[in-house]
Every structure is written in C-alpha cells, then in structure tokens.
Structure 1
C-alpha cells in the first residue's frame, strides 16, 4: 500500500556513520553525558554500553535489581541493568533502561548497541524479572513527549557519499530526504519474522529470474549484507556466475561479470525496489576493512544458512538500506520505504 510521506520534517535527528560492516551513532549517557559509539540495530531492542568505553556513572545513574543478557546472531552480552539519562542529538530521555556489559563478544569497534527494534524483543532478557519488557528509546521519547509520534526514519548513505554518513530521524519522516512518497506495508503475520520489523517480499533477478518466492523476512539496520535463504542464494550465485571468495567468504565476480550484472528486484507491497548492479557490490574503498583485495569486486548478497520456508527467509541489511529511506512505525505496526537521491548512485 502507498501513503503520503507524512507531515514534514522530523522532530530531531542524530547522525550515524559507516564503520565498514555496521552503522554507529554517538549516544550520550549520564549527566553530563559520556559519549558511546553504539551500533544502530533495528534487529534488536536492548540498548546497552560497556564493550570498549567504560560506563561512567553520574547522579542520574541508578542500578536496578535485574541482570541482563542478550544473544545475537553474531555475538552476545551480559551484565547489569541500569536506568540513566540518554541523549540522542538534541533529545534527552530521562530514566532510560540500559544494560551495562560485564562480558561481551562480537562487538569490536563499538561500545554497545542502540536497540530500536519492537519492544517485545526485550522480553526474557532480564533476570529475575524475565516477564518484563524494556521500553526502547523511541518508546520513551514518545511517552515523554519529546517526539510527536513513535516513528523512526533511517537514512544510510553509500560510502562514496559523505563518507557513508547518514541519520536517524525521530518522530517523523524527513520529506527532504526522500524522492516521492513512502510506501508502507504492515508487519508480516508470519512467525518468527513478525517478532521483528518483518515484511513480506519476493526477489527477482533481471526481468524474470525468480530468486526468492514471496515469503517473510526482516529489515535490519544491524546487518551488513542482504541475506537470503540458501536455495535462493544458490539461484543468485548461478545467475551472476559468482564464486565464493575464500578470504572474505563473500561472493566475488570479475569485471566482465559486473558489467553484465542485472538489477536485483525486491517486490514489496505491490511495488518494486531494485538494487542496481552498483548497489549489489561491497564498497570497493572498504575492501581492506574485510580483508579483501583492493581491486576485487565482492557482492553484498549472502547465504542466510537455512532453506526457505522457515518463516524468516531474508534479512534486508544495510546493503539494501543505503539505497532506500526506511521508516519504522510502532503505533501503526508497519514499515515504510522510499527512494532517495542515492538509490541509483554508482558510488560503490
């Protein structure tokens, strides 16, 4: 379904930066605030610190009676749950519940996570209060009257544009950041994708090659690649002629194959969102960040590791989200997408 893009500019925004495999934001905690570099993650909902930067307690820091523990697809953390002031750009949240890690793995280069997924993902992460949920930063910004609606807009920009910077828009869509209207779709009813910012989509390569039949998956700012079910991945690899690179684990193509690469089309809610050939390749200026060769061409489509039909058959990571403005609307339980000036960029 299509809808107009909203009521104008956002209430406030927070800049984010591409660190190679993730986008991070500088988030203040405490009063006066200490800044922490947190991974921007719509695929989880706990906000926490303490990996590299030590948690600095101030007069607004209060330990709760709960321990906290979260396991991710590629890491985990555990520690103590606190409440504290959290500053996001010009906005400050009072008594935001945050985790402070005493142990963690898989988060090199960041201090923790800014979790902006649906609140129910926090259920079961606290102990002994394992039935409780933890309001996210968006939930609390709205409940404390700092933003006009519980909406988050995300714009990531390809690395060749402003060095891969972007922003989070709290409270409203930034209509100046998009081309045309936002197309909204409801959260999928398929489990387990419906626990996340989950949508239904199909994927085709070029004009007619089916890669993935209509199925459920998630939109995830915390993932680097577009990950698709193993059977779909094999069809994509065959269509592109790519081979697996032994060093990076990514698909690799030759210059000639790149010149013949076709659009990868994401069919969502009756609309088509193509990834152009350039959008399908890893930014060549960042090849060294993943241990790759500077002159190699790697694809940003990967194997999810399970066959289609499991209820979560794709993850649209930042490879997709760098080309489309995305909207996460809590009240209306929907996800929105819109073209930007970077949709067809050849910056990679």
Structure 2
C-alpha cells in the first residue's frame, strides 16, 4: 500500500514502466500541498493503459520512504489493471518520454522528448536514499491462497537476507528495441538438454506475472516438450507432467527453473478455472520477439535494479 496525496492506494510495483499513477480504482484526491499542472498524462502498456492529467504531490511508502514533490498521473480512464488502483513505476527514466505533454503540444502536434523524474530519481534528489537502487523479492503463493502478501521492495540498496550466494550483475543494454527498459542479454535458453533459443534480449519486469517467451522460443519449447498453447488461458499446457528443467543462461551464469517451479500448483487450479487433468506452466507466447522475465521467474531469483551503475543483479532467492 502506498499513500499519494491524501489517500492510500493498492498499486502494482512495476519495473517495466516508469510512471506513477492512480485512478484505476480509487480516484486521486490531492493533499493540501498537491496541485494539478494542466498537463496531460498517459501511458499505453502491452495490455491496458490510462489517460488523465498530471498532478504534483507527496508519495509515501512509510518508514521514511517519502517524496515530497512527485509527478503523478491522475487517471480519468484506464484499462487492464485487474483490481489495482494504479502503478508505481520503477523502470528507467527514459520510459517517461512522451508520457506528460502540454495541451498546446497536442493542439500543435509538437511533441517533446523530455523525461519526468521517477519515484526513485526523486528519492535520490531529495536525499532520502543515496543510490538509485531497488531490490525486489517475491515469495511464491502457497496452497490455494491467492491473496497473501508475497513480496518486499528495498529502496536505496538490497536485502541480503532474501537471497543466497552473491549477486551477479548484467549491464543494462543501450541499444535494441528493449533498450529503454531493464533489458539484458540472454546467451541461451534450454529445455532439458535442447537449446531452444540463443542470442536474445530479455526485459526483467516485476509488473508481468508470467514468463513471456519470444514466439520462436515458445514454439521450439512446445515442440521439444510436447506441450501446446492453451489459447483460452494463453499459457503453456501439457497432457503429461514435464520432467525437464528450463534453463536461461545470462553471461556465464545459468538460471534454472525445475518443473515444480515453473508449473502452476494444482491447489491454484480452482482460482483460474483450469482443467485438473492437465499441467499448466507459467510460460506464454509474447506474440513477437519480446522476451520478459516476469514475476514467476523473479519468485526464485532476487533482482536488483541499479540505475546508478546501469545494471541488473540476480541471485538465488531464499
């Protein structure tokens, strides 16, 4: 939960976008120091988005994590948030280009590429944290429970109690179609002993539930594993339980997901209306060349988003 202005909101913590906004559920209500700027604010995501106006107000997570002057989107229309009030954007600042525009620029169609300081940018500039670093931990859901608290976000550093061994860092890519995101190079993807993709780029994204595979990799995965795409639920499904590991190699380090980790727990089937005679996996076809390491990967690997050094860190989660 996060306080913006005079109210508390339930937001998605998203390293795949950089704008902080509310209004998908509970509408924005300014604090006594809040103000509207007169600018238009909006973002279009892979699924959903919002349009509204920009406000400047206080944003607080408690425990001293407060920004006194943060740009906020106050949505008048939104789509695809699934019961959340909005998004806390923790992606790179480049993703804010074009998200806030003046009314005059819309009329004259003269677009600006200016960026808008993110929540973590402002935590640094206001002296709340010394380094623009975020650590993210997710705990897998247990049994049939679909609503337990399952994560921890650390601002200004990371929580070493949430992972074992050392963090391995990978440089954030500076070119390519995902360069504005937390994107890293993928050397190889394997199912069992079979390579199903090489020389790829992946985005590390806390705001995506599943692991989105490039279409070419997903097709090779289904062919090799004997699975198929469940077009109703848009995830991989199997008639018999898979027994091979799924491996993603970044640099010289291989990150492994066992079948018990990448398959949906059967106790969760009733939450999604799934057939009990099949086996479903947390993999989906992105429908393009896009590769996203979403929450179901990050439940097993602690992640660090280091803006100060332009890199992403990963370690085995506890």
Q: Normalising by structure 1, report the TM-score.
A: 0.83
CA deviation vs aligned residue, 1:179-229 (integer Å, no higher than 9, x gap): 0110001012331111100001121112x3111102112111111111111
| Residue 60 (structure 1) aligns with | 33
Which whole-Å CA distance do the structure 1 matches of 2:265 and 2:50 have between them?
30
User: Is 1:190 aligned to residue 175 of structure 2?
Assistant: yes
- Matched with 1:248 is 233
Match of 1:27 in 2: 2
Q: Secondary structure at the match of 2:10?
A: strand
DSSP-derived class of the 2:292 partner:
strand
Cα 1:295–1:156 change in 2 (3 A) is farther
Work out whether 1:326 is the aligned partner of 2:311: no
State yes or no: 1:224 paired with 2:182: no
Question: What residue in structure 2 maps to residue 104 of structure 1?
Answer: 78
Contact 2:222/2:228 (CA < 8 Å) preserved in 1?
yes
Distance in 2, Cα, partners of 1:295 & 1:144: 55
Q: Are the counterparts in 1 of residues 27 and 75 from structure 2 also a CA contact under 8 Å?
A: no
1:86 positional shift: 0.4
The structure-2 alpha-carbon separation of the partners of 1:150 and 1:211, relative to structure 1 and needing over 3 Å to count, comes to same
Give the Cα separation in 2 of the matches to 1:326 and 1:127: 32
Query: Residue 176 of structure 2 aligns to a residue in which SS?
Result: coil
CA distance in 2, matches of 1:60, 1:285: 47
Question: Residues 247 and 291 of structure 1 are in contact (CA less than 8 Å); yes or no, is this contact kept in structure 2?
Answer: no
Aligned residue in 1 for 2:189: 203
Matched length: 305
Give structure 1 stretches of 5+ with no counterpart: 1-25, 342-348
Query: TM-score w.r.t. structure 2 length?
Result: 0.91
- Secondary structure of the equivalent of 1:221? coil
Contact 1:248 1:291 in 2 (8 A): no
Match of 1:9 in 2: none
Q: Which of the residues 40, 52, 61 maps onto 2:13?
A: 40
* C-alpha distance in 2 between matches for 1:92 and 1:141: 7
Of 294, 310, 315, the residue aligned with 1:338 is 315
1:269-308 aligned at under 5 Å gives the runs 269-293=251-275, 296-306=278-288, 308=289
**For 2:130, what is the secondary structure of its paired residue?**
coil
Write the deviation string for residues 92-133 of structure 1: whole angstroms up to 9, x where unpaired: 110111000001111121001111100010011111273321
Instruction: Name the counterpart of 1:167.
Output: 152
Work out the CA distance in 1 between the residues paired with 2:266 and 2:58. Answer: 39
Q: CA deviation at 1:135?
A: 1.0
Q: Give the CA deviation at 1:40.
A: 1.1
Structure 2 equivalent of residue 21 of structure 1 = none
Question: What is the alpha-carbon distance in structure 1 between the residues aligned to residue 56 and residue 265 of structure 2?
Answer: 39
Please tell me whether the aligned partners of residues 54 and 73 of structure 2 are also in contact (alpha carbons under 8 angstroms).
Answer: yes
Gaps of 5+ in 2: 106-111
Q: Which runs of 4+ in 1 moved over 3 A?
A: 161-164, 283-286, 288-291, 293-296
